[in-house]
Amino acid sequence: MSSAPSVGRPRSGARRLPTGTARDEILDAAAELFAERGYAATSTRMIAEMVGVRQASLYYHFKTKEQILAELLESTVRPSLEYAAELSGQGLGPAEALHALVVYDVGVLLGARWNVGILYALPEIATEPFARFRAEREQLRLAYRRLVAADRPGTSEVTGDLVFGLVESVIGMRRDLPSLPPRAELQSSVAAAALRLAGLG
């Protein structure tokens, strides 16, 4: 008795995540396509083909392309937001806490397999499917403002926003530069620059 034919095309070894689920592989393939081809130019069919599954299988995990992008974007801010909450209970001074958050946040942005942060400026991000991402990113911005202004009443919110922008500048560096310094070196450099910008260095 012959076996049933495989579903979709065989998955590429380069795209298979060693311990990833089907959902993980869909997110990984979508991140690559969104980052390299663009969000509008990527269809759910293309994502399914890259993973090697039928579109119906993709829709089992994600109902829409917007849902895929929303989850990818949230993964770029939620770990840092949770880390900022942990820092608040550790009794660190403002400079130490800010340094720790910047190092961690830059690590998240650089550590992602694909540079999804370049999609922050998409006009679609202003729509309802991305409301949670926008809210979480704003919470992270406010965490930077609080750290910059801690023990320094009257500090302009703009300074905190500048530090936040400095951290996110690594997204553009990752896109534009042919090579980056080692991750730890870049994390340290951005954190030192953030402290100077905040007047805490």
Rounded CA separation 25/35 (Å): 15
**Architecture per CATH, 22-63:** Orthogonal Bundle (1.10)
- How large a percentage of the chain has pLDDT more than 90? 77
Q: Which tens digits make up the pLDDT trace of 95-130?
A: 999 999 999 999 999 999 999 999 999 999 999 999
pLDDT at 9: 43
| Locus of tokens 């995990």 | 61
pLDDT at 155: 73
Side-chain half-sphere CA neighbours of 51 within 13 A: 27
Average pLDDT score over the chain: 89
Helices (H), 150-182: 157-176
Compare 99 and 200 and report the one with higher pLDDT. 99
Does residue 10 register a pLDDT over 50? Answer: no
Domain ranges across the chain: 22-63, 71-198
Averaged over 33-37, what is the pLDDT? 95
Averaged over 76-86, what is the pLDDT? 97
Nearest to 56 by CA among 16, 26, 11: 26
Fold of 71-198: Tetracycline Repressor; domain 2 (1.10.357)
Rounded CA separation 140/84 (Å): 8
Q: Which tens digits make up the pLDDT trace of 174-195?
A: 999 999 999 999 999 999 999 9
Phi-psi region of 193 (alpha: psi -120 to 50; beta: other; left: phi over 0): alpha
pTM reported for the whole predicted model: 0.88
Rounded CA separation 29/112 (Å): 13
Cβ atoms of 75 and 23 closer than 8 Å: no
Structure-block tokens of residue 136: 């979480």
Cβ atoms of 198 and 159 closer than 8 Å: yes
